[in-house]
Structure 1
Amino acid sequence: MEVENEQRLMDEIRQGNKDAFRTLVNPLIPKAYRTAYMMLQSKPLAEEAVQNALIELYSTIVSGKEINKLYGWFSRLLAHRTVDIARKEQGYKITVDIDGMEIQDAASTPLESLLRKEQSERLFESIITLELNQRIVVGLYYFQELKIEEIAALLDIKEGTVKSRLYHARRKLSATLQQAQGQAKELTI
């Protein structure tokens, strides 16, 4: 969405147009939900994180605060709300149902689409096996596209700690995915 269009919609929101808010945030919600779900491993908690971020975004817009880069601002806001919930619910676990989740792609054939969906599911299943602190940095870095220094500031940890968690998460993901790939080859033989 263009910056001018975002600013126009925010002005309309300040004037009480609720449809303008819907128009502004609808493109942000699917990615935000997938990211929160990946980090929290719970549909209700992911919904809560996204809802909290949307409420805070709405309040900020209505209060008149100027937001220049909506996507970046909302990504950081969502990251804060997700981390807040993760810290609060650290012991909370729920079974993961990824059957209903679809990661959209631009595959050109049904076979490519099926293969990408299977790869996405394997990657997602691998990510959710990571420890919470690794899942959080992976989500913030790859899904919310935050920089290492932003993640460090958000989590109140050192940049080296963020890099270390990313490194160990990548190694674990690589091993898990290679193992899954090996098992898939055995099944086809």
Structure 2
Amino acid sequence: MSGTENLYPENQDIWFERIMDEYGDRLTKLSYNYTKDWNSAEDIVQDVFITCYKQYEKIDKIVSFKAWIFRITINKCKDLLKSSIFKRVVTNSNLLTLTKSSELSPEMAIMKSGEEEFLSACVLELPIKYREVITLYYYEELSIEEISEILKINRNTIKTRLNRARMKLKALLERWRYDGERT
């Protein structure tokens, strides 16, 4: 994060407010891409910010703050997805039926309101390993190298996943348009 140095160690509260402003929405969207649930995404981001606040004294040792905070967020998302309570509550609840039914939740209705939102809905249909690289590359505008560092995956694997994700997105877009859901 640019400017972290001049806020450390004088004022932790200003620094904390600044990272919340700078990363709050982005991390919530990233979390939503994993969980497909706004409440879970918001909870994860709160947990990430608590971790940041607790790690304030060590912040000067972090080489890339952006990579660090994204990695924490992704790990917390993956932990939640692995948890048995998430599997029982979310997959057995009406949340999935709402997102797949013709009657959309308010969040999904907003996402489908325009072309950009339509593409976002298609991205959410991708398997998580493709969704995460698309999100980090196109939405967060991270380089292949940065994504490799965040996900701890080889650069060539990132490139392969990006190519496969693009092909899957293209097929999804064509199928949805062909089915008449979107013209």
Q: CA RMSD in A?
A: 3.3
Structure 1 unmatched runs, 5+: 104-115
| Seq. identity, % | 23
Q: Determine which of 164, 170, 173 is the counterpart of 1:174.
A: 170
Aligned pairs (5 A) from 1:51-90: 51-61=46-56, 63=57, 65-66=59-60, 73-90=65-82
CA distance in 1, matches of 2:134, 2:105: 18
- Paired letter, 1:73: F
User: Displacement of 1:127 after TM fit?
Assistant: 0.9
How far did 1:24 drift? 4.2
**Higher RCO (Cα < 8 Å, 6 or more apart):** 1
| Counterpart check, 1:154 vs 2:143 | no
Match status 1:140 vs 2:136: yes
- Residue type of the partner of 2:150? L
Report what 1:124 is aligned to. 120
The alpha carbon displacement at 1:42 in A equals: 2.0
CA distance in 2: counterparts of 1:23 and 1:81, whole angstroms: 17
SS of the aligned residue for 1:175 comes to helix
Q: Who is 1:35 aligned against?
A: 30
Whole-angstrom distance in 2 between the partners of 1:76 and 1:23: 16
Contact 1:140 1:151 in 2 (8 A): yes
Change (3 A) 1:98 1:128: farther
Q: How many residue pairs end up in the alignment?
A: 165
Taking the TM superposition and a 5 Å limit, the aligned residue runs for 1:105-120 are 117-120=113-116
Cα deviation, residue 117, structure 1: 4.1
Gaps of 5+ in 2: none
> 2:71 touches 2:151 (CA, 8 Å); kept in 1?
no
Between Structure 1 and Structure 2, the one with more helix by share is: 2
Cα pair 1:36 1:46 within 8 Å, conserved: yes
